[in-house]
Amino acid sequence: MAGDGCLFCGIVAGAEPGHVVLDEPEVVAFLDIRPVFKGHVLVVPREHVVTLPEMPRALLTAVFVAVQRCAAGVVAAYGAQGSWVAQNNVVSQAVPHVHVHVVPRTKGDGLRGFFWPRQKYKDEAHLRETQAAIQAALSPG
């Protein structure tokens, strides 16, 4: 593992094994060793950043351009019908280094929509209250 103990920093540095599919100046993508489906890729910034909200905007652009390329690539490589793109911050984030999952998908592959129960807002007032809370918490873009 890299000196900071981060597995993904180790893969990026070449100190840990990783099956790299994309190697760019700011971003690396490699196969997930425990894939949801064959072709499941993780896209990571070379720079150690723990969560998406901490990522500098310029790096965010580089990462998501790579995500876009990988989303097209896994579909083309496996004849998939589409892809699933996901990213966790802290909760369910097994490695504390920003990483975006890109998974090839095909209708009937066994993955069923979202993995969590869906909820409803109580009423229109509850929707507006939630909307206002999030708007107030958003930092200027």
User: What is the DSSP code string of 27-55?
Assistant: EEEEE-SS-SSTT-EEEEESS---SGGGS
Is 101 noted as a catalytic residue in this protein? no
Report the distance separating Cα 56 and Cα 50, nearest Å: 12
Q: Which residues pair with 22 in a beta bridge?
A: 29
Cβ atoms within 10 Å of 18's Cβ, excluding its own: 20
Distance CA 9, CA 29 (A): 12
Q: Among the options 40, 48, 97, 99, which is catalytic?
A: 99
List, by residue number, the catalytic residues: 99
